[in-house]
Structure 1
Amino acid sequence: MNALSPWALSANADLVEASEIFYTRTAGQFIFVVQATDDSIWVNTTMPNGGNAMFRAAYSPGGSLAIEKTGTIEDGIQLTFVSVSGRQDILITINEDGAFPVLRYVTTLTPAQDLHIPYWPKDILFSNDKQEPEKTKGTIHASQFGTRTGFIYLTQTKPASASILYLQNLTALSAYCEQTETSAGDTVGGNWPELGFSLPPANKPLKAGKEVTLTDAFVAFSTDVVTEEPEIIQLYLKMLAALYCMLPKPKTKYQNWPDVLDHGLKDLIDSPGCWSQVAGHQYVNAYVSDYETPPEIMVQLAVLLPLLDYVEWSKTEQPVMKVIKDGLPAFYDEKLKTIMRWLPAAEDKLKGEEEQKVPRVMDSWYLHHPLLNLSRLALKGDKTAEKLFLDSIDFAIKVAHHFRYRWPVFYKMDTLEVIKAETAEGKGGEKDVAGIFAHVMLQAHELTGQKKYLEEAEKAAKTLEGYGFELFYQANNTAFSAGALLRLYKITKNELYLNLSYTCLAGIFRNVQLWDCNYGYGKNFPKFFSLYPLNDAPYTAAYEEQEVFCALHDYLKHAEGVDILPSVKLLIAEFIRYLVDRAMYYYPTVLPSEMLEDKPKIGEVDPKLWIALEDLQDGWLKSGTVGQEVYGAGNAFGILPRHFMKVSGEEFMIYVDYPTSGFTAQKGKNIHFGILGDESCTCRLMVVKTGRKKLPEITLTIKGHQVITGKQVKNGNIEFAVNGNQKVELSWSHRK
């Protein structure tokens, strides 16, 4: 028997007695009935097999609602009521055009006088056809944590009726949060059967006569009662994509990444705060002016690899790359036969202020991430990287066998003694390390052709089964894992690996923020579709986002020719589109100084440097609290080669904010390429001037026959709006 709050008991009793019906709509196997009680407007939803879900679209404490007007509209109803608190306008719609029926309710309040809100009840109550919430059961698969998307994904199992994805458009709550000085974090959740969204308790009152939105909820319904991991994950991805398409989304804008890269490259090379010197070699600092922490191999390679992407794209040389490469061999420990996290020659600088800041202590993912980057260099022909990689691979396998492919958080490199076993009590270790280990093994297999590495990859991958949404530990490693699992599927045709790759992606999309924090300092930067670096991190971070961005680009390339879920293509492409806009705001140079932390945890924040901040926080908190991360310098170097296509012999480039593939060019004639993603979404294609001449006459053709008209925008560039999943031909002729 479920325990109920007084508000749930009262609501259920009132609904039993409610008789007046304002609106009824049937969508598939779901029946929606709009009713009023003394203090609320409800959408009472009858589901298959005796299930029932009641959604509170509006609430006024103390009751005495007076319905002022009602009116049916296409797909729904509008209502207005007044109470002592003020006037509330409610819009309720039911959309059944897509794969799932979707209920939406939007409610605004115009307070009659200054109003303080200390409490607000949840807006969902589950029951059965006998109105007995206490006798129902359900499984909550995932829900909001911190300032991530305001969602809850669940299945009602007693009675076995339906699965539901509820998503609150928290962007719409910004005016409420601004007035009341509250955060939209941790506002969606609850305990069965009383779930959903509740307004955050106010610190300041709402002003009389000033309209604010109190709720903007989207609810997708499926008759699938999912219980097994693959079906739980795939249904989540499908429902999330369906709601995403309906969600109000902010506009993006073109960012001048070529200029940003030039600024960032200069500051990386010239700023003394970005470098330290040990034993005659220069090493990249993790954070600006952090001279206390010894050099880390992960940091060196996290800067080097994006630089390599840029050099290959630009056909230029960057001497700074040799500086970084020359310091890599010093990270190898001849006794242990492996690369080390901390530079051995400087380990004595570690002071032990954190568990991992101790000589020879390894954070499990830190061993594999450098190996992955070394393998990438090796596959491009770098012999020094190849030697470091192959000389270290046996140690990595030894560790994997010791921990049976289930890594702790921290361990000693020389004894393999566990220093910290779990991320939190009962949560296990770093679960996604098995995926990045599999990725490293696939790289070794590609480099050497030896079957034993493929076998290791499969053994590790199989241990990921059963984690579900808990698989995600660190965003970039989970994204690398997704790509490795997709590659394993292509090699073996084992559906398990494809399903596990979806599990990784579901973990990533469960940890994004599908809303814009337009209150407090949050008004200064976009956060829609931002990704959190850890499953419990309170902020988003430049480095992890940039690496996930690159990993998801690779995922879509590996997926070409594979029948993957359309929802996956859609969500990946949209994450990439928003990141290409948002990533600009990690640079303190484009942010107001008052929102930057004066005394970061590590090093210093120089607001004039084009070096990314580690962290962007909730709107009421200052950003840059951790520091200014030099290892996030790959931001621009990762974006430019993936989104700007150079045209030989011409003074323009082609920019697309979606991922693309198959770029081919005929000099002086035309260009062909594919735009990835899903055709239901639109992206920006721009012809960008690189010289002083006016652009030629541009013709853009889609699928060989549809000509798209562009518009001239700032700086003489030409912009087009095109859909995903299209083949593009761009031709031009110079004006005479």
Structure 2
Amino acid sequence: MNSLSPWALLAGTDLAKAEKPLFSIDYQNFLFQVFMTIDSLWISTTLPGKILCNFRCAYSPGGFTVSDEHTSESGITLILNTVYGRQTVAILVDTQKPVPVLRYITTLKPKADLVIPYWPKDMLFTAQTRISENSTGKIHASQWGTRTGFIYMSPTRPKAAPLLYLQNLSAISAYCEQTETSLGDTVGGEWPELGFSLPASKKPLKAGKEVTISDAFIAFGTVIPKTEAEVMTCYLDLLARIYLLMPLPDTQYKPWPEILQNGLKDLTESPGCWSQVAGHKYFNAYVSDYDTPPEIMVQLAILLPLLDYVEWSGTKLEVMQTIKEGLPDFYNEKLGTIMRWLPAAEDKLKGEEEQKMPMVMDSWYLHHPLLNLSRLALKGDKIAKALFLNSLPFAIRVARHFKYIWPVFYKMDTLEVIKAETAEGKGGEKDVAGLYAHVMLQAFELTKERKYLTEAEHAAKTLKGYGFDIFYQANNTAFSAGALLRLFKITGNKDYLGLSYMCLASIFRNTQLWDCNYGYGKNFPKFFALYPLNDAPYTAAYEEQEVFCAIHDYLKHAEGVEILPSVKLLLAEFIRYVVDRSVYYYPPMLPPDMLEEDPKTGEVDPKLWIALEDLQDGWLKSGTVGQEVYGAGNAFGILPRHYLRIPGRDFMVYVDYPIADLNAVKGKPVSFSVLGSSELECRMMLVKTGRSKIPEIEISINGQKHPAKGKKVTGGNQEFKIPGDCSINLKFT
């Protein structure tokens, strides 16, 4: 028998007595009925398999009186009077698609200043009698910290298809602003008593001021998954189904060409970004961090985005040669591999952290630089090719030693494990196997030697069974997704495609599908932000930028592959919001009073266009870790992927969705494909680069002329709304 709270026991008893529903909808073996009990308003939902899931959409310890109600074919709205104020509840069942979605929105208008010390969870599984008897279920994933407020679960006794509960926490921000509370860890619980509960107030709600206290979406699966891959794809499909119904925040165009120039100037000219060792200049990891030796990951994490920009713009940057000149000094001849720390400066390491010791390697740190070296090698860089190929035997030896299951830290000279697990019972860095597979596929592409493909497959097969736990670090998980998609294309083995979806599902599980509009959070958007680690309390510029680029790469490899419509939708939307909000990692875009004055590493300069490592929950200051120089790739990754240069024209075409099949020839119409989903729109702009006016334009979408004229915006630019998943043809006069 499951342990239950007094509120759950009372709810079950009261629900069992409820007879006549206030409202009901029967849809494809789902029955939704609204009942009033002594202290709650419930939506009792009968799932296929006859299991009952009950959703508490209103609660009052003293009970309610109904003062008004309105019904329609798809829902009911009730106005409920309580001793402490008025609650308004709107209930809607969306039946426009085979997967039904239940939504309920509840607002509270207190009669007097009101303190809320406790609020019960809003979901309770019961027997058919509605009594809280024994039932079992599996929680596949749920909210951690300030990520999306969700639970993805499957009833197992009785057995039923999964369901996804998602609380639109953006709507609760006004409550948090008044009560000085956070929405972190507000969705969760233990079976069978789950869901959202209001955080206990530190300050009272003001009398007469209405606030939203719940905005819940529940999408119900229709098929019981039989495999791990089916569990993950069901999550992606249910998430996309809810996403289309959510109130999505608006985005604003950001002038990335100007932002890039600001960042390039500060990156190259600010003394705090550089150190000098043995006659070579190296980038610091953090602004004014002179105590930590240079790291090869940092140098390459800056170099590769710069290369993207140079290839797009046709310009030359001296800083790239400066970086390249220092790379060979990271190679250890005795071990036959590149090192994390610059060997000539390892004596700076003081051991204040486990990995800050000579010869200690963080598992992903070996493979990430190799991946970037392979990208340079494939572009013809001979020095990078030599460093990459010469380091591969060591990387393979390490992989085989650990049987493709990497610890967190190990000694490079002895392979002694320094730290085996991220936490007790959690295992090591699980997604490193996918990152290693990516490196091996790069080696296979460069050399055509099949042994590297074999290594990639050995590593990929160890990822089975991890589910959402595959995620150790966001960029590595994204690289893993791409590698697994490539393996599917090479081998035709559908297991790899399923594992690729597993990686993507774990990435979306670690995003924040809500805006933190309380405290300092009012100063910057955070919708669809991605957390760098599975237990990180903040979002980070570097990992988001790398995932952004990795997803663009994923979509290129997906050409010719019928990937899930939900994946197309979610990937494109993630990209759209990254382009919108990444500028707020730069301190000049934020009020100085929300920046940490004493960061963990180096200094934070409020005037410097170098990204903060961390954006925190609304009640916390940001930049607590430091200002990360290696996050400088932000703008350099966005500009080449979202601005289309038009030969012979004084303007560029900007699209905030990913695109493909670009055809831009001087004097000819411009054509390209917009990716994503046709169910959503994205922004296209004509952005001036000179003094000339933007000419008249004729737009065709999927071969049909588009009648809408562009909206004139600041600077003489023009803006258009276009659908996702379409072909665009632009004819200029």
**Shorter-chain TM-score: which interval?**
over 0.9
Output one character per residue of 1:310-345: Cα deviation in whole Å (capped at 9) or x when no partner.
000000100000000000000000100000000000
Deviates more, 1:10-19 or 1:627-636: 10-19
Q: Which amino acid aligns with 1:58?
A: A
Does the 8 A contact of 1:51 with 1:162 survive in 2? no
Aligned: 1:478 with 2:477: yes
Paired letter, 2:81: V
Contact between 2:698 and 2:705, CA under 8 Å: does it hold in 1?
no
Aligned to 1:57: 57
1:47-446 matches, cutoff 5 A: 47-61=47-61, 63-446=62-445
Assess, with a 3 A threshold, how the Cα gap between structure 1 residues 132 and 339 changes in structure 2: closer, same or farther: same
- Deviation per CA, 1:514-560: give whole Å up to 9, x if none: 00000000000000000000000000000000000000001111101
SS at 2:133 equivalent: helix
Q: 2:138 and 2:441 mapped to 1: Cα distance?
A: 36
Amino acid aligned to 2:456:
A
| Distance in 2 between residues matched to 1:278 and 1:49, nearest whole Å | 68
The RMSD of aligned alpha carbons is 0.8
Alignment partner, residue 11 of structure 2? 11
The one-letter code sitting in structure 2 at the alignment partner of 1:727 is S
Partner of residue 448, structure 1? 447
Q: Assess if the C-alpha contact under 8 Å between 2:13 and 2:132 holds in 1.
A: no
Q: Distance in 1 between matches of 2:163 and 2:63?
A: 32
Partner of 2:679: 680
> 1:697 — aligned with what?
696
5 Å matches for 1:463-502? 463-502=462-501
CA distance in 1, matches of 2:131, 2:433: 44
CA deviation map 1:582-624 (0-9, x unaligned): 1000000110000000000000000111000000000000000
Confirm or deny: 8 A CA contact 2:434 2:463 kept in the other structure: yes
Deviation per CA, 1:237-292, whole angstroms, max 9, x where unpaired?
00000000101110001000000000100100100000000000000000000000
Shift of 1:693: 1.0
Counterpart of 2:324 in structure 1: which amino acid? Answer: K
Amino acid in the other structure paired with 1:134:
E
What SS is found at the alignment partner of 1:673? strand
In structure 1, distance between residues paired with 2:346 and 2:131: 63
Give 1:74 shift.
4.5
Instruction: Give 1:472 shift.
Output: 0.5
Give the match for residue 612 of structure 1: 611
State how far apart, in whole Å, the 2-side matches of 1:618 and 1:713 are. 33
Q: Is 1:505 equivalent to 2:499 in the alignment? A: no
Decide whether the 8 Å contact of 2:295 with 2:342 is kept in 1: yes
- Separation in 2 of the partners of 1:695 and 1:714? 13
Cα distance in 1 for partners of 2:56, 2:75 equals 16
Distance 1:142 1:708 in 2: 45
Give the whole-Å Cα distance in 1 for the aligned partners of 2:130 and 2:55.
14
SS of residue in 1 equivalent to 2:96: coil
SS at structure 1 position matched to 2:49? helix
Alpha-carbon deviation of 1:223?
2.7
Hey, what's the Cα distance between the residues in 1 that align with 2:215 and 2:222?
24
1:132, CA displacement in angstroms?
A: 4.0
Q: C-alpha offsets along residues 135-161 of structure 1, whole Å, 9 cap, x if unaligned?
A: 211111100000000000011111112
Question: Residue 520 of structure 2 aligns with which residue?
Answer: 521
* Corresponding residue for residue 30 of structure 1: 30
User: Can you list the C-alpha shifts for 1:418-477, whole angstroms capped at 9, x where unaligned?
Assistant: 000000000000000000000000000000010000000000000000000000100000
Q: Following TM superposition, by how much is the alpha carbon of 1:28 offset from its aligned partner in structure 2, in angstroms?
A: 1.3
Tell me, in whole angstroms, the C-alpha distance in 2 between the residues paired with 1:143 and 1:390.
Answer: 42
1:136 & 1:400 partners in 2: Cα distance?
43
In the TM superposition, residue 656 of structure 1 has moved relative to its aligned partner by 0.1
- Tell me how far 1:705 sits from its aligned partner: 1.5
User: Aligned partners of 2:420 and 2:627: how far apart in 1?
Assistant: 30
Aligned mates of 1:239, 1:611 — CA distance in 2: 38
Percent identity over paired residues = 68
Counterpart AA for 1:606: D
Report the secondary structure of 1:160's partner residue: coil
- The SS at the match of 1:135 is coil
Q: SS of the residue aligned with 1:685?
A: strand
The aligned counterpart of 1:712 is 712
- Partner residue, 1:561: 560
Task: Indicate conservation of the 8 Å contact 1:286/1:299, yes or no.
Answer: yes
- 1:722 correspondence with 2:722: yes
User: What letter matches 1:259 in structure 2?
Assistant: E
Structure 1 residue 706: Cα displacement: 3.2
* Farther off after superposition, 123-132 or 9-18: 123-132
Q: Who is 1:655 aligned against? A: 654
Aligned to 1:43: 43
TM-score (norm 2): 0.99
In 1, distance between residues paired with 2:401 and 2:299? 28
> How many corresponding residue pairs?
732
Is 1:599 aligned with 2:598? Answer: yes
CA contact (8 A) 1:156 1:225 kept: no
In the alignment, is the contact (CA less than 8 A) between 2:660 and 2:673 conserved in 1? yes
Q: Unaligned stretches of 5+ in structure 2?
A: none
Q: Is the 8 A contact 2:15 2:131 kept in 1?
A: no
**What CA distance in whole angstroms lies between the structure 1 residues aligned with 2:102 and 2:63?**
26
State the shift of 1:708 in Å: 4.3
Deviation of the 1:225 alpha carbon: 2.4
Contact kept? 2:144, 2:185, Cα under 8 Å: yes
Superposition deviation, residue 567 in structure 1: 0.4
Shift of 1:700: 1.2
CA distance, structure 1, for counterparts of residue 230 and residue 419 of structure 2:
33
Secondary structure at 1:335 match in 2: coil
AA matched with 1:172: A
CA distance in 2, matches of 1:50, 1:573: 37
Per-residue deviation, residues 35-56 of structure 1 (Å, max 9, x unmatched): 1011111001111222000000
Question: 1:227 Cα shift?
Answer: 4.6
Q: Which ranges in structure 1 are unaligned for 5 or more consecutive residues? A: none
Residue identity in the other structure for 1:64: G
Q: Which amino acid aligns with 2:46?
A: T
Is residue 456 of structure 2 the alignment partner of residue 460 of structure 1?
no
Whether the aligned pair in 2 keeps the contact of 1:687 and 1:717 (CA below 8 Å) is yes
